[in-house]
Structure 1
Amino acid sequence: MVAAGLVSGPMAGPAEHRAITLWAQANKAALASVEYWPVDKPQQRRRTAATALTPQSQFTAHLRVTALEPGTRYAYRLLLDGKAASADLSFKTQTLWQWRTDAPDFTVLAGSCNYGNEPVYDRPGRPYGERHEIFDVMASQSPDLTLWLGDNLYYREVDYSSREGMEHRWAYERKQPYVQKLLRTGSHAAIWDDHDYGPNDSNGSFVLKADALDLQKRYWANPSYGLPDTPGAFTTFSFGDADFFMLDNRWYRDDDKLNDKQRVMYGERQMRWLKNALLTSTARFKVIAGGSQSLHKGARGDTWVDYPAERDAFLQFLA
């Protein structure tokens, strides 16, 4: 019998003080676990409980590594059926700096719009995509945190007509060699835009949006997705002396052609959550990220400017 192999990852979600979530995908059913240890204390090796990789989850796993110490770099490797399936990698937990010292510096990269080619389903003629060297450049910067700001893949017509099509697109894109080095570098958090949510310029009416959200959860390791009574892809987390607020610009979105001056991009419940979260935040830096253009009034196309009531009310709140 051929042993299970690693297809994509491991990828770390946002590092925490005492825990971290690691994501990985294999090529067949297996039991996945993580062996980890402080880099300067290899004798303190520990192992997480095993998680079953199943066809229903496309052989993906979210592996929770707990009982960690703050401000510590750990080495780790992924195990499939008890055998090493990755090289030794590392992550660093968040430092407990409050009331003790200055906040540690960290580097963050942000990107969007990754069109991966699959020629049989690309548009005729010269396709989008073609070159992906930027992923190597990004990985070479050794970012502590990478923000994926939407259109992280592009569903084709054959994809967004069914859940199975969307599952194919995710599995196909995640196995591409050019993205692996970046996925294995630092922590990652992601939101979506139209092309990794549904069709081009899609809004809250997309009938498969619940499936799209399931796949967003399957392929990323965000700390949360929406609220119990407010579904969506939005989340928040702290990193160093910054709080990040990642917004969902599709789930509650009215079409920008809707003849209603009160049309919304983010929706009342998400905006109320954002305002309350900002008021609660004590971080020195507050970073708000959305998948659409937000501030430039001259922007054309996909822009929050086309939702003046919601946008103006939020800017007045900030003022």
Structure 2
Amino acid sequence: MAELFASRRRPRPRFEGTFTSNFGTLTLEPADVSGTVHGSYTHKGGRIVAQLDGLTLKGQWTEPEHGKNGDFIITLEEDGNHFTGSWRYTGSGAWNGQWNGVRLHLLSESQGGNPGGLNSHSEGPLLSGPMVGEVSETAARIWVQGRDTCDLSISVFTPGGEEIRASFTPQWEDYLCGAFIVSGLRPGERYEYEISSENGLTERFAFRTAPPAGARRAKIAFGSCFLEYWNHDLTIFDAIGRDDPDVFAMIGDTSYCFEPDWQSEHTLMLTHLRHRNNNALRRLLARVSTLGIWDDHDYGPGDSDGRHPIKEISLRAFRRCWAQASFGLPHVPGVFSSVRVGPAEIFLPDSRYYKHLEGPGILGKAQLDWLLSGLRASEAPIKIVASPTQVLPDHPVRNGWDCFRRDAPGELEDILNFIEENNIEGVVFLSGDLHMSNLIHLPGRRHGVKTGPDLWELTSSPLANEPWREPQMGTDVTLLKEVADSRSYGLVDIDLDRTDREIALILRDPEGNTHFEEHIRLANLRVREPIAAE
């Protein structure tokens, strides 16, 4: 990022407060005038006395519950949120193990608090971003995390050279996160933009608004399971960018929480932001409209459901890091929404917030009603249900994996019956989660003399995690194709003028090479009358 002015200097972080660590919760009192720090930690009733030298604590520990003691050295990282170090028993020459932790709560600005995640921008107006969020035909949301609480401005430049400006003031309690809302745009056009504050000016980026509702073509990229935030050489996001999609949907496990990460709102925010700050992902997000919904790992512990004890905090943190026009309904919280992209409407359900709250089920009654009503009301020729959890196949049931057939068979039957009974045309399912990729096909079900619509589902997973490497072909008659040994992303390429091949479901590898491609006849995605005998 280029700087126009020197950034404000944040006060040096203080090595005090509460941290979650591999020895439980560590609470450090402020240093006294001599630099001595007292503290406690929950493992075995632990106590410490140490000397503070800059950002390093060196001292003694004791654990009264089992009579052991020793010494330690831990250092607070410059970000003020993480510490690393070592401990040993009294009389031991070598260090016996590591002592690492992460701050549980955001300190105030005057205390040297830092809302930024790992690999934040080191200079300029932003700590994180920009990310092009949801775009419509005439408006765009651009997500950012400011460097501090000074005003941020965005300048958007039209193809004709006109400048459109918007601004907002980042709030500390919102982790300096927010979204510019830029209106007065035109459908399907390319706009350049830059962001500034008294801390400097970003480079110039570009994005494209959504194609008009009457457009004949659209391209939708999607994927799930992004673990490797530390790998800045990932090629998969650049490959997605080369496909130049109208939108990129990250449908679950947009980040990964481990035990230290789901302890508080602060640790959840740091988790989302460290993934957002991956250099390879940044390049894509700055220019392609990107949508996000969660699955279990960016919601809480693995396999967590609607009974997750801090799900309201998880929802607040997740919403703060994404830029959809809406999340849930006024009286039905969650991350679900729908987005129109030219000839397609994308439905993004929430697979966690209501799971198992009303017995077997994933969506819950209110969200299921929202989905069915939205499908019936949609005027888009193609309706895409982009679920973090697999919807149609049978093989996850035998393997004990999350899926609608195992966890929500009643909801699944309600969805399929509703599509058939109301002749909801053009429905296609996308999914993730599995660490392998599947192409699923269910031929239309017979209803008297009529045949219901064919049902297709493309599962793409993982974006940046280890593949499952256990092929399922031959175990499920609905499974037509699979890739079990490669990372991948999916594409839905729509061209309504490509007669009898209007929808292409494509799976690609991290370099952009095609694993497989399946063309679908749009006329088969509707209830069909019997063919009259000649």
Verify the 8 A CA contact 2:140 2:182 in the aligned structure 1.
yes
Of 377, 395, 401, the residue aligned with 1:280 is 377
TM-score normalised by length of structure 2: 0.53
Of 363, 376, 387, the residue aligned with 1:290 is 387
Q: CA deviation at 1:176?
A: 2.1
Cα separation, 2, equivalents of 1:94 and 1:108: 11
State yes or no: 1:105 paired with 2:217: yes
Q: CA deviation at 1:53?
A: 1.8
Rate the CA distance shift 1:46–1:310 in 2: closer, same or farther, 3 A. closer
Q: CA deviation at 1:172?
A: 1.9
Bigger-Rg structure (1/2): 2
AA in 1 matched with 2:7: V
Q: CA deviation at 1:249?
A: 0.5
Verify the 8 A CA contact 2:125 2:198 in the aligned structure 1.
no
State yes or no: 1:67 paired with 2:168: no
Paired residues, number: 296
Rate the CA distance shift 1:97–1:204 in 2: closer, same or farther, 3 A. closer
SS in 1 for 2:237: helix
| Structure with more of its chain in helix, by fraction | 1
User: In the alignment, what sits opposite 2:133?
Assistant: 13
Query: Which ranges in structure 1 are unaligned for 5 or more consecutive residues?
Result: 119-128
User: In the alignment, what sits opposite 2:207?
Assistant: 91
Cα separation, 1, equivalents of 2:174 and 2:150: 12
Q: CA deviation at 1:208?
A: 1.1
State yes or no: 1:315 paired with 2:437: no
State yes or no: 1:115 paired with 2:232: no
User: In the alignment, what sits opposite 1:125?
Assistant: none
Cα separation, 1, equivalents of 2:391 and 2:141: 31
User: In the alignment, what sits opposite 2:451?
Assistant: none
Structure 1 range deviating more: 133-142 or 59-68: 133-142
State yes or no: 1:136 paired with 2:238: yes
User: In the alignment, what sits opposite 1:76?
Assistant: 193
Q: CA deviation at 1:83?
A: 4.2
Q: CA deviation at 1:47?
A: 1.4
AA in 1 matched with 2:261: D
State yes or no: 1:228 paired with 2:334: no
Cα separation, 2, equivalents of 1:109 and 1:71: 17
TM-score normalised by length of structure 1: 0.86
Of 154, 158, 165, the residue aligned with 1:47 is 165
Rate the CA distance shift 1:234–1:67 in 2: closer, same or farther, 3 A. same
Structure with the larger RCO, 1 or 2 (CA within 8 Å, 6+ apart): 1
Query: Which ranges in structure 2 are unaligned for 5 or more consecutive residues?
Result: 1-5, 9-123, 421-534
| Structure with more of its chain in strand, by fraction | 2
User: In the alignment, what sits opposite 1:122?
Assistant: none
SS in 2 for 1:263: coil
AA in 1 matched with 2:388: G
Please provide the CA RMSD for this pair: 2.1
Q: CA deviation at 1:58?
A: 1.8
Q: Deviations over 1:31-63 (max 9, x none)?
A: 211101212x22x22311x21123322222200
Q: CA deviation at 1:253?
A: 0.3
Q: CA deviation at 1:304?
A: 1.1
Q: CA deviation at 1:178?
A: 2.1
User: In the alignment, what sits opposite 1:29?
Assistant: 149
AA in 1 matched with 2:175: Q
SS in 2 for 1:228: coil
User: In the alignment, what sits opposite 1:121?
Assistant: none
Verify the 8 A CA contact 1:31 1:82 in the aligned structure 2.
no
AA in 1 matched with 2:316: D
User: In the alignment, what sits opposite 1:305?
Assistant: 405
SS in 2 for 1:107: strand
Cα separation, 2, equivalents of 1:309 and 1:71: 40
Cα separation, 1, equivalents of 2:226 and 2:327: 22
Structure 1 range deviating more: 168-177 or 279-288: 168-177
Cα separation, 2, equivalents of 1:131 and 1:20: 29
User: In the alignment, what sits opposite 2:361?
Assistant: 264
Verify the 8 A CA contact 1:6 1:25 in the aligned structure 2.
yes
Q: CA deviation at 1:108?
A: 1.4
SS in 2 for 1:137: helix
SS in 1 for 2:218: coil
